[in-house]
Amino acid sequence: MDEEHLMSTALDRMPDEMRRCFLLRFAQGFEEGEVAMLMKIPVETVREHLREVRQRLSLECL
Amino acid sequence: MPLSHLALLARRLRSLLRRRRPPAREHPSMAELAAYEADELPREKEQEIQEHFLDCRECPEMLLDMKSFVSPGDGGGPGLPDSRVDSAWEALRSRLEDEARVRSFEVPAGVERFLLVFGPRSGELRLRYRLEILASHGGPVWAVDELGRNDAGDLVLGLAGHLLPEGEYLVRLLGINGGGAKLLEEHPIRLSYR
């Protein structure tokens, strides 16, 4: 299975809110505070999602 | 995982998503963005707007700009620099003005039929459009289904003068998808005969 497919699968497995936080932060380049405002959730929740994504991608992609 | 590695993964994902996802959908209107911010939308619509934010740079920036005007200094970060505020205000004002401005059309007196050429702001091409003209009090005056864009991307509508006396109207453009119609744009116009 290639890396692209693994990443795609990892994205599909993420809860929607987590996936959106991740893509807004890193694919769109918004700051954590801006992601929180766009998603209308606390910035601490955004940080938790991003921490979780790092763990998931480490396990699933690397 | 180092942050730079994560950013690299994200860039690859962005490229991957571009291939997997359909092209950018139409932008939510300013009214929808304001309703999103005010928690006045159903959950399904909120989700749709959040998904749109992943494909579009303009709309999330517009929302952040709206929030910065409504509650400057909120969000835990430092205030925006003046240049950023100025450019954000210009973008916001331009979009608000575009949606709210009453466009005036003068038709030569005595003309029985004339053409309304409408260039939709939405970049998304749909197979069919419905264009409605409402009186200023909201009652329907004219509606045409099955409109398609011409080679220049415009919608051209033939109108009869005797059905449209001088006055102000609201032009609404709806995109037709399957069995449903979605409001894409609406513009107030003023029609006069000279």
pLDDT per position as a tens digit, B157-176? 888 877 888 888 888 888 87
Cα separation, A60 vs A48, in Å, equals 18
A33 closest CB neighbour out of B1, B17, B75: B75
Inspect the interface and report whether the beta carbons of B12 and A3 lie closer than 8 Å: yes
Inspect the interface and report whether the beta carbons of B9 and A57 lie closer than 8 Å: yes
The three-class DSSP label of residue B112 is coil
Inspect the interface and report whether the beta carbons of B13 and A37 lie closer than 8 Å: no
Q: Quote the mean pLDDT of chain A.
A: 85
Give percent above pLDDT 90 in chain A: 47
Residue type, B56: C
Inspect the interface and report whether the beta carbons of A33 and B76 lie closer than 8 Å: yes
Give ∠ CA B183-B187-B192 in degrees, rounded to 5: 140
Distance from CA of B142 to the nearest CA of A (A): 39
- Spell out the alpha helix ranges (H) of B56-114: 58-70, 82-100
Q: Quote the mean pLDDT of chain B.
A: 75
Q: Which one of A34-43, B136-145, B174-183 scores highest in mean pLDDT?
A: A34-43
B75 closest CB neighbour out of A16, A37, A58: A37
Inspect the interface and report whether the beta carbons of B6 and A37 lie closer than 8 Å: no
Q: Closest residue of B to A56, CA-based?
A: B1
Cβ neighbours, 10 Å, residue B42: 9
* Chain A partners within 8 Å of B67 (Cβ): 37
* pTM > 0.80: no
